[in-house]
Amino acid sequence: MRKIGAVLMATILVHFTSSPYGSGAAGEGLDFAMSATNYGHEVIALFSDDAVQMWRSDQHTPDGVKTVSKRLKALPLFDIEQLYVCEMSLQQRGINADTTQYKPLCASDIAAVIVEAEHAVTF
Partner 1 sequence: MTDNFSFEWQGQQIPVDKNGYLLNTKDWDESMVPYLAREEGISLSEAHWEVVRFVRNFYLEYDTSPAIRALVNAMKQTYGPEKGNSRYLQRLFPRGPAKQATKLAGLPKPAKCL
Contacting residues toward partner 1, per CB under 8 A: 30-32, 34-38, 66-67, 70-71, 73-74, 76-79
Give the shortest CB-27-to-partner 1 separation in angstroms.
10
* Choice between 33 and 90, CB closer to partner 1: 33
* Choice between 32 and 104, CB closer to partner 1: 32
Question: Can you say how many angstroms the Cα of residue 22 is from the centroid of all Cα atoms in its chain?
Answer: 16
Residue 3 near residue 35 (C-beta atoms within 8 A): no
DSSP 61: P
Per DSSP, the three-state class of 11 is strand
Give the shortest CB-43-to-partner 1 separation in angstroms.
11
DSSP 24: S
Give the shortest CB-74-to-partner 1 separation in angstroms.
4
AA identity, residue 76: P
